[in-house]
Amino acid sequence: MAVSWRSWTANEGAKHIVLWLSANTVLFWKTFTLYCYGPQYYYLYKMLGLGLCLSRASAAVLNLNCCLVLLPMCRAVLAILRGSQKVMSRKARRLLDKSKTFHVACGVAICLFSVVHVSAHLANVYSFSLLYSEEFPSLNIARHKGEVSWCVCFAVPGVTGVLLVFILFLMFTASSHGIRVCSYEIFWYTHNLFVVFYMVLLVHVAGGALKYQTNVEDHPPGCLGSNWTGGSDNVCRAEPHFQAHFPQTWLWVSGPLCLYCAERLYRYVRSCGRVTVESVVKHPCGVVEVRMLKSGFTARPGQYIVLNCPSVSSFECHPFTLTTCPTGTEATFGIHMRVLGDWTERFVELLLSEDSAETETLPVVQRRTYPKGDWQHYKLRRLYFVWVCRELGSFYWFADLLCGLHQKLWQENRPDYLNIQLYLSKTEALQVCVGRQYQALSARLQVGRPRWPELLDDIGKSNKDKRVGVFCCGPKGISKALHQLCNSGRSCGTTFEYNKESFG
């Protein structure tokens, strides 16, 4: 499928990736040339060569990425930024939605540049040993020429370096998609080793193995020694003095680390409040709606909550999108939870005890206060709601809400505002019987999977030269197909902006 440049840039050409790539490249190049040509590193470069430049340049990039990698995970901060409508433009909000991708990009960069850094330092260790400098003993790490490289490694930077690689190895191998799908706990517990990683990193950079020359004016590099008897201007006035750098990493890393720790503390304090389960409603197809109350809790449509039930599991936390948000009149909030997996099974078992007489099998009608009349305030002009389910019973989860909304829009003479399309993907052994009160939905029910290209074409033709936001919540197959379709240019001049739900 051909990719349209305009559609591609609307979806992928986020400025932050370009900015991040440029920052990494510039930092790498500047540091590389500094260590290659800088006069204060002349003698060190003579000893270590390319290994010095590569190791320091990769260290600079590692500083930047270790600083940036924590920022996308400050979810409370990002939620506040994203929610402040006056400050943030739509493009900036979409950028914030990609925070998890940015975190992964920084993580991958850390791994790649760690490989470069370790390889270059391996070469440096050998160079320190073989090219031990008799002329400038303070420049050396090795204690004598030809010292076994093992011993060179037992200095603080060496030991901490090995420990850092070990932790990074554990974190990286447990972060692949397969592990996160199969055993999320392994991913979660190894990823929390980041605390140890940062602590060891702060010690690693304090080693001071590489030194720079402080008195370049008095002793220009390559100057002739004081016992030079012939006349020349380039005579050394003093012996070179070497000093270890101040650990720059402390400046890079301490800010984001403190911010992230504050964020975790805030999340912990916020989670300490009591939550009351107001009602539990059983829906068809193994879905349970849980309505809860918590004092001081506010949320907006589209946000998700993370549930932790100590009676089920002390450490497990599971995200669920809010299906009912607290409003001014009603403080309850609710989620719809599909019972699939051991945590949800045990959680629902706990909630639905045997002698509970309050369980209902019909969905609860939700009373929401919708904006009255004046829809012009909202930028949204039309909403296409496409819902694909395997079984008919699934549509009952929100049938009342959809019918209620449809009815309201009809009464306000806005029938074209909401276009509902329901698809039943399981085509065998069908018996489509829908109650009379859901006639509006049964008229919009189609059997079979939706044909996404034709659907988007139709939407494009009806909304020429407009911007259409596509919000996908579903399996990877649909998400990928929609993403590709949004990137390919359809001929109507409509731009499709792709957004995916992800519990970032």
Partner 1 sequence: MGKIEWAMWANEQALASGLILLTGGIVGVAGQFAGWQFAAYGVAAGVFVCLLEYPRGRRAKGTSVERTGQYCLTVCVKAFGPITRNYYVRAFLHAALCVPGGFMLATVLGCVCLGIASLIYLLAAIRGEQWLPILPKTETREKPRESIKEPPQNPPPRPPADLRRKRLEDVEGAAYVNPIPVTGSED
Task: List residues binding partner 1 (CB under 8 A).
Answer: 115, 118-119, 122-123, 125-126, 149-150, 153, 162, 165-166, 169-170, 172-174, 176-179, 181-183, 185-186, 312-313, 316, 341-343
- Phi-psi domain of 267 (left: phi exceeds 0; alpha: psi -120 through 50; beta: other): alpha
CB 152 within 8 A of CB 125: yes
Q: How far is the CB of 353 from partner 1 (least distance, A)?
A: 20
Q: How far is the CB of 478 from partner 1 (least distance, A)?
A: 16
d(CA 405, CA 398): 11
Q: Which is nearer to partner 1, 56 or 121 (CB)?
A: 121
Q: Which is nearer to partner 1, 86 or 177 (CB)?
A: 177
Q: How far is the CB of 305 from partner 1 (least distance, A)?
A: 20
Which residue has tokens 């189609």? Answer: 446
CB count, 10 Å around CB of 342?
10
Structure tokens belonging to residue 354: 């045997």
Q: How far is the CB of 147 from partner 1 (least distance, A)?
A: 12
The C-alpha angle 260, 17, 500, rounded to 5 degrees, equals 75
Cα→Cα distances 51→124, 151, 156, 326, 333, Å: 6, 19, 19, 59, 58
Q: How far is the CB of 58 from partner 1 (least distance, A)?
A: 14
Q: Beta strand pairing status for 445-447 and 418-424?
A: parallel
Q: Beta strand pairing status for 333-338 and 287-293?
A: antiparallel
d(CA 170, CA 168): 5
Q: How far is the CB of 477 from partner 1 (least distance, A)?
A: 12
CB 58 within 8 A of CB 134: no
Amino acid at 114: S
Non-local CB neighbours of 334 within 8 Å, separated by 6+ positions:
289, 290, 291, 292, 322, 323, 324
Q: Which is nearer to partner 1, 96 or 351 (CB)?
A: 351
Q: Which is nearer to partner 1, 196 or 443 (CB)?
A: 196
Q: Which is nearer to partner 1, 116 or 293 (CB)?
A: 116
Q: How far is the CB of 286 from partner 1 (least distance, A)?
A: 17
CB 242 within 8 A of CB 213: yes
Q: Which is nearer to partner 1, 17 or 118 (CB)?
A: 118
468 sits in which H/E element: strand 467-472
Q: Which is nearer to partner 1, 20 or 187 (CB)?
A: 187
Q: Which is nearer to partner 1, 118 or 216 (CB)?
A: 118
**How many residues does the structure list for the chain?**
504
Q: How far is the CB of 349 from partner 1 (least distance, A)?
A: 13
CB count, 10 Å around CB of 278?
13
Q: Which residues pair with 424 in a beta bridge?
A: 389, 447
DSSP 8-state code for residue 451: -
Q: How far is the CB of 496 from partner 1 (least distance, A)?
A: 28
Q: Which is nearer to partner 1, 57 or 486 (CB)?
A: 57
Structure tokens belonging to residue 423: 């698809």
The C-alpha angle 275, 278, 283, rounded to 5 degrees, equals 120
d(CA 300, CA 324): 9
Q: Which is nearer to partner 1, 40 or 129 (CB)?
A: 129
Query: What is the three-class DSSP state of 481?
Result: helix
d(CA 21, CA 27): 10
Q: How far is the CB of 164 from partner 1 (least distance, A)?
A: 11
Q: What are phi and psi of 160, to 5 degrees?
A: -65, -35
Q: Which is nearer to partner 1, 11 or 124 (CB)?
A: 124
Q: How far is the CB of 308 from partner 1 (least distance, A)?
A: 12
